[in-house]
Amino acid sequence: MTAQFFAPVAAPQHPRAAFADRHIGPSPDDQARMLAAIGYAGVEALIDDAVPAAIRTSRPLDLPPALSEPAALDRLRELAARNTVLTSMIGLGYHGTITPGVIMRNVLENPGWYTAYTPYQPEISQGRLEALLNFQTVVSDLTGLPVANASMLDEATAAAEGMALAHRVSKRKEPGTFLVDADVLPQTIDVVRTRAVPLGIDVVVADLSGGLPEGDVFGVLLQYPGASGAVRDLEPVIAQAHERGAQAVVAADLLALTLLRPPAESGADIAVGSAQRFGVPFGFGGPHAGYMAVREGIQRQLPGRLVGVSVDADGAPAHRLALQTREQHIRREKATSNICTAQVLLAVMASMYAVYHGPEGLAAIAQRAHRRAAEIAAGLRESGVEVVHGAFFDTVLARVPGRAAQVVDAARQRGINLRPVDADHVGIACDETTLPAHVTAVLEAFGAAEAAEAAEALPGTLRRESPYLTHPVFHAHRSETAMLRYLRKLQDKDVALDRSMIPLGSCTMKLNATAEMEPITWPEFANIHPFAPVDQAAGYVELIGELESALAEITGYAKVSVQPNAGSQGELAGLLAIRGYHASRGEGDRDVCLIPSSAHGTNAASAVMAGMRVVVVKCDDGGNVDLDDLHAKIGKHGDRLAAIMVTYPSTHGVFEETITDVCAAVHDAGGQVYVDGANLNALVGLARPGEFGSDVSHLNLHKTFCIPHGGGGPGVGPIGVREHLAPFLPNHPLRAEAGPESGVGPISAAPWGSAGILPISWAYIAMMGPDGLTAATEGAIVAANYLATRLGPHYPILYTGRNGLVAHECIADLRKITKETGITAEDVAKRLIDYGFHAPTLSFPVAGTLMIEPTESEDLAELDRFCDAMIEIRREIQRVADGAYDAEDNPLKNAPHTAACLVSDDWKHAYTREEAAYPVPAVRDGKYWPPVRRIDQAYGDRNLLCSCPPPEAFED
């Protein structure tokens, strides 16, 4: 796809203060005061001293001038108007759904939910953790499997993860064969193939309706109901798989499972799928919450996030992330998956859809969709059209020899998109939005008439008899008032950006402006099926082309693909592009990936998934890549060197002076350079990775380009590549426009990944303009150095670059403090909750430290409020050192303090209740009360509980 970015706006610019002035928190006067504190008279001098000249770009950003908010929205309305919203009856895993207004307004459009971060600090994340526990319960109940995770990226990647899990469970050393039924969704089949190739797994696609073919397999993937709509009994083929020692993975439709026997009762070991039709719009393919559930005995190998129930310091039940919470950081190349997050915001929506409707409501929706499909089937049969399958749920496959295109066109003229399967077959999928008028229109397109009666098409032997969603939460919120209050109750338990800054290093928790967010719920963007005819998505195609071109200009790359729907998937796509490039040159044996010891853990995990061997390169005492060790590793592995993955600026928060030398050394050895774009927000407008030696980067749009984290998802992780890697970008089996014919295959289920949230980053770039984007980068660097300057006298700053400066984040080192006082970085993190703050990143990339990133969008008052809190906490630590506080019974070791513990008659601490709750006067203004005290992490892993506990567990 090619496009000129940001075409002229037809409407004139509206008078309004520059958007960049609202995005960047400190005023010019405030920034001057910050610079003075650092020791600089102007921002240019600071940037010249902080950013190495070797990486600085010689040309400014070639982007159009900034648009005002109204002008950008006018332009987006123009693009939206170029999309044509028809009634979609295409199916293929994407279905029309109605988002209840109370969920649309109070979750999807609510910054209390969409600006929260991954719940690494569970004490201030109890609301969204409860919502995710509800999601896990929905999935577990409907699939019949005892343990479900907190969501996956989409159905296709969940199936690929299911394949990998089946292989681990099989404990086979050789790659082996994975058998896929021909009636699995086509995009899922191709994503599974893409993921299997670098692992050496042989994927065999076959019609399994008559049983398994001969041969040894470690796993089998089945679709229930099938892509064709067919509903068949899976028990016989699953039994055959088990007889051969294979694991059975079933991709199941959650809504269908309200009526059909759950996969577990047919013997499934693993269930995967999508929760999209539980109230989440099409969004041209995403973001949507995938899911995975597993049988007893393999839950500790489950990839992704898992919410569990533990207890807090008072013994009260409390939610937390369980088991492999930060597996990629701990296990690195031994990690079982590179997924480091989830689709939290969308999983919350889906869980609340189930809470809103309850089991009876969901079953009624499913029954209605089935009835509409049965009416269509009856009308077709009565008019002489062959209906291929006698048993189906919501999708009818009609055989019309030589007439498929004619029928599809006739339906389109009536405002309905059907699925053209081939020249002789048409698929018709019904859903929650299907009305009797749609049934009539579809039958007219076939030249058929409505039937007098429509018989049910669900086999009696496969009807569900087991109960589901029996927990009170799915029965207690039937009125809008009750639902509204439940959502508010959960929201109030959490700390998100609407409450205070979130100073997480490496995560860039900056402003997600309302003007950026507004368009994603417009019907013209929200209600487009990813496989609708491309001419109906002309506005999307143009927007995506403009965004890809702008990102290419910003990064210095030749081509960008937005298909990867998370940073982890962007990493994999980039490494697969490198792998494809080497193979095209007859150098397919290049399989060594060098990774600095400071790298994000997903780098190593992604390299293994891309079929590479990880070799770690040491870092020196300054946090930089050790050049001597780099050259030694290149010397040892030169002939097999595929790539180096390096984060720039480094995860240690410094601009490494030798990055161009690193790139040159790897290139001289025939390798490729992958620059992890997690910290691109420190480069935009100042340097381009594609110019200073990088061949490929993934970009975190949910960081640098303002897509909100949503409590841990959604994300978008597009990749940019230089010209020689462009032929190896992702493509898609159902959309030739989505990538090169020579591409590595699809990375995500949808052709352009999570396209529904791309208007956010488009709007950010358009409204900031070239000068604003550069000013944002400068502002981030100023803010980080201001914090380092203020906090440095109290907490040593672990790594700095030349002139003692940091990049966009800094690492406060508490290891010496811990050794002297026993107060840990975790104690400081929990004590910050009492001050009303989310903690910085804890013990990453260095154990015993706090990595702090202020971003450009926090104003000086908030930065000072955070610094004041950290400095006061340092005084509290000193009181422990001096003996004024007991070493074990002090406000830090006991933090956080709940209102309940403060009003208890059993207050036995040597410090006062006021010291606990109101350590500084500013806390009295809008005090945040944590709902639980410090959570026992180990207890939760020993006593794993991953679905809604009974209400009695929360009684006093």
pLDDT in tens, 88-120: 999 999 999 999 999 999 999 999 999 999 999
Q: Is the previous residue joined to 146 through a cis bond, with omega within 30 degrees of 0?
A: no
CA atoms within a 13 Å half-sphere pointing along the CA-CB vector of 800:
16
Determine which of 86-90, 537-541, 636-640, 950-954 has the lowest per-residue pLDDT on average: 950-954
Q: What pLDDT is recorded for position 599?
A: 80
Averaged pLDDT, 270-287: 98
Q: What pLDDT is recorded for position 4?
A: 53
| SS3 at position 687 | strand
Note the pLDDT tens digit of each residue in 804-820. Answer: 999 999 999 999 999 99
Contact by Cβ (8 Å): 510, 760: no
pLDDT at 835 over 70: yes
pLDDT at 322 over 60: yes
Note the pLDDT tens digit of each residue in 179-196. Answer: 999 999 999 999 999 999
Q: What pLDDT is recorded for position 1?
A: 36
In angstroms, the CA 919 to CA 65 distance is 47
In angstroms, the CA 129 to CA 124 distance is 10
Contact by Cβ (8 Å): 191, 746: yes
> How much of the chain is in helix, strand and coil states, percent to nearest 5?
45, 15, 45
Rg (CA), the chain: 28
Q: Which residues pair with 250 in a beta bridge?
A: 222, 271
What percentage of the chain has pLDDT greater than the value 90? 89
pLDDT at 373 over 70: yes
What percentage of the chain has pLDDT greater than the value 70? 96
Averaged pLDDT, 300-314: 91
Contact by Cβ (8 Å): 165, 298: yes
Averaged pLDDT, 268-289: 98
CA atoms within a 13 Å half-sphere pointing along the CA-CB vector of 370:
26
Report angle CA 511, 516, 522 to the nearest 5 degrees.
Answer: 145
Q: How many residues appear in the chain? A: 956
In angstroms, the CA 330 to CA 337 distance is 12
Note the pLDDT tens digit of each residue in 388-400. Answer: 999 999 999 999 9
Q: Token pair for residue 905?
A: 């008659």
Closest CA to 156 of 182, 183, 193: 193
Mean pLDDT value across the chain = 94
CA atoms within a 13 Å half-sphere pointing along the CA-CB vector of 559:
20
The pTM of the full predicted model, rounded to 2 decimals, is 0.96
Q: What are phi and psi of 852, to 5 degrees?
A: -115, 130
pLDDT at 333 over 80: no
Determine which of 118-132, 307-321, 589-603, 879-893 has the lowest per-residue pLDDT on average: 589-603
In angstroms, the CA 168 to CA 295 distance is 14
User: DSSP assignment, residue 203?
Assistant: E
Q: From edge to edge, which strands make up the β-sheet containing 592-596?
A: 559-561, 719-721, 696-698, 672-676, 641-647, 592-596, 613-617
Note the pLDDT tens digit of each residue in 429-439. Answer: 999 999 999 99
